[in-house]
Amino acid sequence: MVGNTTTLRVILAFVVGGICGVLGASLLEADLANNLFTYVSVGFIEELVKGIVLIVIGWRVIPKSASQGALLGAAVGAGFAAFESAGYAFNAVITTQGLDLITLLQTEALRAILTPVGHVLWTAILGAVLFGAARGRTHFRFRFSIFYAYVAVALLHGLWDSMSGIGAIVALLLTGTTIADMRFGFIPAGSEQAAASLATVPAAEGE
């Protein structure tokens, strides 16, 4: 237990962060265009949703401290990542050829490696700054450091998500070929379309 943050509250942060976080983010992201620039919007939306969940979960934590914020933030981020990974797993295992357990295992293994430096770290940073701004107080207190932290983690989130798409574009520009196998779900359709549109340029020039 850190301060008055009990194990039950940490578990609640994990569960609520996973269910409400993923559902809320999915609703807000439903109308986003599917392209490389969407990642920035996704980063801001998902970090905002997790931040709201964190505020609700930590409202009655007294006194507030950066360590408690980091702990609850990590729990919210872990819950979000767990439920998000379940969605990736479902998409990976269902294929036109039937169930693909190998792809499922590969997807979940990679997600397990990347999650600690993804959602868990970003929300832990935001939580530490959010709770640290209200240090010793009973209620949250706004400071510009919270806004700066939010923007920073959202941009890191967007940059992290866009790495696969950027890699596909760079590979295309350097080699002139596209990545054919995108079954794992880490290169969204928008990135594939962007790569395909660029691939038509060298082809047209060669005619």
Q: Is the pLDDT of residue 195 over 60?
A: no
Residue percentage of the chain with pLDDT more than 90: 19
Q: Is the pLDDT of residue 63 over 60?
A: yes
**Full DSSP string of 123-139:** HHHHHHHHHHTTBT-SS
Q: What is the mean pLDDT of residues 197-205?
A: 44
* CB-based contact 1:67 (threshold 8 Å): no
- Between 76 and 176, the more confident residue is 76
> d(Cα 129, Cα 160) in Å, to the nearest integer?
21
3-state secondary structure of 77: helix
Q: Is the pLDDT of residue 188 over 70?
A: no
- Between 23 and 138, the more confident residue is 23
Distances (CA, A) of 36 to 56, 138, 197, 201: 32, 42, 13, 18
Question: Which amino acid is residue 108, in one-letter code?
Answer: E
Dihedral sign for Cα atoms in the order 29, 105, 70, 160: negative
For residue range 90-101, what is the model confidence (pLDDT) as tens digits?
A: 666 666 666 666
For residue range 128-181, what is the model confidence (pLDDT) as tens digits?
A: 999 999 887 778 888 899 999 999 999 988 887 776 666 666 666 666 555 544
- Position 81 scores a pLDDT of 85
Q: Is the pLDDT of residue 2 over 80?
A: no
**Full DSSP string of 143-197:** -HHHHHHHHHHHHHHHHHHHHHHHHHHHHHHHHS------TTSSS-HHHHHHHHH
- As a whole number, the mean pLDDT across the chain is 75
- Position 184 scores a pLDDT of 43
